[in-house]
Amino acid sequence: MSRILAIVSSVVLCYATTALGQIKTAPTPKLVLQITIDQLRGDMPMTVYNQLGDGGFRYLYEQGIVYENAHHRHANTETVVGHTTLATGSDPADHGMIGNIWFDKELNRVVYNIEDDRYPLIGEGGGVDKNIELDPTQKVASTDGRSPLTILVTTFSDELALSTNGKSKIFGVSVKDRGAVTLAGHSGKAFWFSKAKGEFVTSTYYYNEYPEWVKEWNDKKYPLKYAGTNWELMHNKSTYAYGDYDDMPYETNLPGYGIVFPHPFGDAENGYFTTFLTLSPVGDELTLNFAKELLMKEDLGKDEITDYLSISFSSTDYVGHVFGPNSLESEDNLLRLDKTLAELFSFVDKHVGLHNTLIVLSADHGAANVPAHLNKFGIDAEYFVADSIEKATAIENIKKRYGVSEELIDGYYHPYIYLNREAIKKHNLDVVEVSRVVASELIKFRGIAYAIPSINLLEGKIPDTRLNRQILRNFNPKRSGDIYLVLEPHWFVNDFDGLTVASTHGSPWRYDTFVPIIFVGNGLSPKKVFREVHTVDVALTLSKYLGIKGPSGATGDPLFEVLNR
């Protein structure tokens, strides 16, 4: 008996020693490369898969661990919300980025998500030119200063910095400031593209002055090489699924850019020149060019301490807004994005090694098809006019009921309605009662599916449904408005501060929450996973992969397919 026990003990010891050895020799990445594609709905790469080249999306889908049923689990699917969720592994209720803009109750004004007047941009002339800026949320900011300090919890990149006592090099790059700042976290460095200067810029939160390599890159004036050129189709129009849809009435016809190929960028003196670049695949090409320079000059992935680089590609979002995700422009943009990704992966392989790099790709949100396109297939879809709410007879009747002559609704800042607290206080009204009365009228409007008073969320007076859980995960008491508005599926507001766009996002419906999540590189074996997973799982998975503490607000679940190496 003792001999049997001895043999068993030897076998167990041998197995444990082997397993321990495997754990010790499992490759630790020299670089974590986190890629976010703005407005890449989870099915979109497959719509062009047969047209793709090698090395880009094919590398991800054929060599990676692909989660085919991945979703954001919060309700407001906007850019900063999704980016911060991917960065922190937490919901907007906890990380605080409830929308691209919100009404700050202490400042008594609408604020842009990462604006911060304490940290101005370095240099002159790099801020937002509100006269030509197309992004209405950027126009809201009262300052060009930017920082991550409105993010209320730590990011994965913060935890990586903490785990190495600041020795890890951490960077975020994007055309959009909110795409760069969120993933770089509180501890990294962020760069974004200034359309006003045609350069990548940053704020004094990160540096006192630009590194020399940034000055040199900007001095080369890469955007100018596109002056006088056009966005041309990669292939013959007949090879595209949307080849016959190049002139649609719902596309945004920007003067000088047009709605049919080729799209001219114009000369560099044109005030919209750099804007037109970002409304095309060129925005991603410039982002890649800068990111490659950063990787080289900052020596990322060159030692045994894991570094981190986040790249957020924005062109898919801009093109989707202007032309719609079901357009010839979006189709061609995806093919060009594929080339951009292939070039990125080849560059990383050459300078760091894909076997030394853990790559994770996802998106900040999905995309809604254009209503007119859906109508062709018998699907009810329309644009919603938010400005009509305040002037509606139902709201006017509520004002008469309470004897209020002032506007009762202070504003609709997606996705929240903010009531006029001053008027409510002046007339000695109960804000709880008013919010519930207004909400009960709003759900009678055509196009509105739900109107949820925030007090109902605070008091737990909502049914436990999937959609209500999404709304609750978006609710932050200090930043959220008085009523959360949910439009019917395939309905959305398409007025961007006077600019009418073809499509937008921001709903809790599946087409807006559906995104890819793909892990690849560093010795991972390919696998397809079809159970539902969520974007809050990404940051914790990265943390567990490196054996470090998860972000402070993370509520997701580690993805075991990635961790079982």
For the chain, list residues with pLDDT below 70: 1-26
pLDDT of residue 249: 95
End-to-end Cα separation, the chain, in angstroms:
37
Check whether the bond before 262 is cis (ω within 30° of 0). Answer: yes
pLDDT of residue 510: 98
Q: Are 493 and 413 in contact (CB under 8 A)?
A: no
pLDDT of residue 12: 40
Helix, strand or coil for residue 382? strand
Rounded Cα distance between 216 and 251, Å, is: 38
The encoded tokens of residue 461 equal 């007076």
pLDDT of residue 499: 86
DSSP class per residue in 62-99? HHSEEEEEEE--SS---HHHHHHHHHHSS-HHHH---S
Q: Are 452 and 345 in contact (CB under 8 A)?
A: no
The encoded tokens of residue 172 equal 């975020």
- From the number of C-beta atoms within 10 Å of its C-beta (0-12, 13-18, 19+), residue 549 rates as middle
Q: How far is CA 531 from CA 37, 44, 561, in A?
A: 22, 19, 12
* Maximum CA extent, the chain: 93
Residue 290 C-alpha from the chain's centroid = 20
pTM for this model (two decimals): 0.94
Rounded Cα distance between 382 and 374, Å, is: 9
Q: Are 177 and 183 in contact (CB under 8 A)?
A: no
pLDDT of residue 26: 54
- The amino acid present at 157, given as its one-letter code, is S
CATH 3.30.1360.150 describes domain 385-446+448-487: yes
The encoded tokens of residue 333 equal 């943009």
Rounded Cα distance between 70 and 365, Å, is: 11
Half-sphere exposure at residue 42, Cβ-oriented, CA atoms within 13 angstroms:
21
- From the number of C-beta atoms within 10 Å of its C-beta (0-12, 13-18, 19+), residue 11 rates as exposed
Rounded Cα distance between 481 and 31, Å, is: 40
Rounded Cα distance between 308 and 163, Å, is: 13
pLDDT of residue 25: 43
| Phi (first) and psi of residue 127, to 5 degrees | -80, -175
Q: Are 207 and 120 in contact (CB under 8 A)?
A: no
pLDDT of residue 305: 98
The residues pairing with 416 across neighbouring beta strands, listed in sequence order, are 413, 484
pLDDT of residue 190: 98
Dihedral sign from CA coordinates of 392, 398, 403, 409: negative
pLDDT of residue 483: 98
Indicate the DSSP class of residue 420: -
pLDDT of residue 5: 41
Q: Calculate the CA dihedral of residues 539, 506, 254, 336 and round it to 10 degrees.
A: 40
- From the number of C-beta atoms within 10 Å of its C-beta (0-12, 13-18, 19+), residue 303 rates as exposed
The encoded tokens of residue 473 equal 């995960």
The CATH number of 35-375+508-563 is 3.40.720.10
Query: Closest Cα to residue 360, out of 37, 3, 21?
Result: 37
How many residues are present in the chain? 565
All structural domains of the chain with their residue ranges:
35-375+508-563, 385-446+448-487
The encoded tokens of residue 416 equal 């929240």
pLDDT of residue 8: 40
